[in-house]
Structures are given as C-alpha cells and as structure tokens.
Chain A
Amino acid sequence: EAGVAQSPRYKIIEKRQSVAFWCNPISGHATLYWYQQILGQGPKLLIQFQNNGVVDDSQLPKDRFSAERLKGVDSTLKIQPAKLEDSAVYLCASSLSFMRVGEAFFGQGTRLTVV
C-alpha cells in the first residue's frame, strides 16, 4: 500500500518568509498528525486531526503556525512568518483512528531550514 506522502522534502527560506508543507495520508486513515522534530530531539506533536476536525492543537504556536484538513484527507501546515527556531523536520503521520495511535504511519518528513 502507498505510504504517507509529504512534499517538499527540503525547503530553505529566509526568516520572516512564509512556507507551506503538504501531506497526503494513507487512504482510509481518519487521523492525521503533524509533528516537529528539532535536531537532536524527539518529535513533538503540533496538531492532530480526526477527519477534518482538530482533536488537539495545544502545542501549535498559533501566532505563526496554521494547519488545515478541509476535506478530511490531505493536509497543509503553514508557517507565517518563519523564525530561525522553526528549523526542523516536519513529520506527518496517519492512523486509522485516534484510538489506534500505536499504529501510526509516518512520512519521510520535510526538512525546513530558516536562514
């Protein structure tokens, strides 16, 4: 089966610019997660969707980050404006339902460098 698709794989932007990442989860997976993985750290959950609704966005810096999953399938994560500390790998994951989070499947991630 096809895995979780993310694009782009790499992005370099200047601080204060905007950037958007795209994720297409595994077909039929109702739950979608965005994680931020800073170099040397474990992934940190930014936002979790169940279909097109937000389940948890408590760790999303809402002054600059936004995410949507309008049709309950693919999702975009946006940063506007970017800061140097946003340099990280942004991982998208999906699972059949939020009660089966242990079976989440991860994409390869988007590596963002803010200069």
Chain B
Amino acid sequence: AQSVTQLDSHVSVSEGTPVLLRCNYSSSYSPSLFWYVQHPNKGLQLLLKYTSAATLVKGINGFEAEFKKSETSFHLTKPSAHMSDAAEYFCVVTTNTGNQFYFGTGTSLTVIP
C-alpha cells in the first residue's frame, strides 16, 4: 500500500527565512514522489517530482526536495520564503504503475511580512 504523511498541517515562517515542509512516505516499491502547490482559488500546480533519478530534485520558484530512502522522507525546502509562497502544499506518491496519485492531507504555509 502507498501513502504519504505530511507531518505539519500548518507552517508559519517570516519572509526571507527558510521553508521546510515535511513529508514521509510509505511504499512497498520504489516510489515516484511529487510536491504540488495550491493557491487560493487556483488549480493544483506541480512544483517538482522525483522518479528514481537524482535524489535532490529542483523545482520551480526556488523549491527543492531531497529523497531519502533510509528515512522514507521527501521534505520540501526553500532557502528564503517569499510572500507569494503562501499556499497549500501537497505531497503525493504514485502507485507502481504510475497511474494513481495518493495525496497527503496538505500543509498550509503562511508567510509573515
């Protein structure tokens, strides 16, 4: 069975400080993992994906994530938060055939000016 656990439902950071959104996964095979972002009243947008290539994945808007098999983690980071980063973030794992998403419950990121 596949699942992801997002360890924080809400994260608040000050503008210009680092962002860390935590995700642990459970999978019986080598997973593909993704981070999506959802801004208010907008559709889900792919931030980055890991598909068994480089373990450090760079995405859009300065975000990156590191796949750590030993820790079953795929945490999302950004060196310096921007006001426009305030949104809901979802960690996602796929099935071994890559045709279904399993979404985490989401982490709401607040950026304080």
- Whether the Cβ atoms of B51 and A109 lie closer than 8 Å is no
Enumerate chain B residues within 8 angstroms of A108, measured Cβ to Cβ: 41-43
- Which of B32, B41, B97 lies in contact with A102, CB distance below 8 A? B32
Query: Which partner residue on chain A sits nearest B42 by CB separation?
Result: A108
Contact residues in A for B98 (Cβ distance below 8 Å) = 98-102
Q: Are B99 and A106 in contact (CB-based, < 8 A)?
A: no
What is the predominant secondary structure among interface residues of chain A facing chain B? mixed
B51→A102 contact, CB < 8 A? yes
Interface segment, A12-20, A36-44, A65-73, A77-85? A36-44
B73 contacts chain A at the CB level, 8 A cutoff: no
Q: With a CB–CB cut-off of 8 A, which chain B residues contact A98? A: 97-99
**Chain A hits for B43, CB < 8 A:** 3-4, 91, 105-109
A55 CB–B CB distance under 8 Å: yes
- A45–B51 Cα gap in the complex (Å)? 21
Binary contact readout B37-58 vs A (1 if CB under 8 angstroms, 0 otherwise): 0000111111001010000000
Is A48 interfacial (CB-CB < 8 Å)?
Answer: yes
What would 9 more interface pairs be, CB under 8 Å, given A98-B98, A102-B49, A109-B43? A4-B43, A40-B105, A42-B104, A43-B101, A98-B97, A101-B101, A102-B46, A102-B51, A103-B49
Q: Which residues of A contact B (CB under 8 A)?
A: 3-4, 31, 33, 40-45, 48, 55-56, 91, 93, 98-109
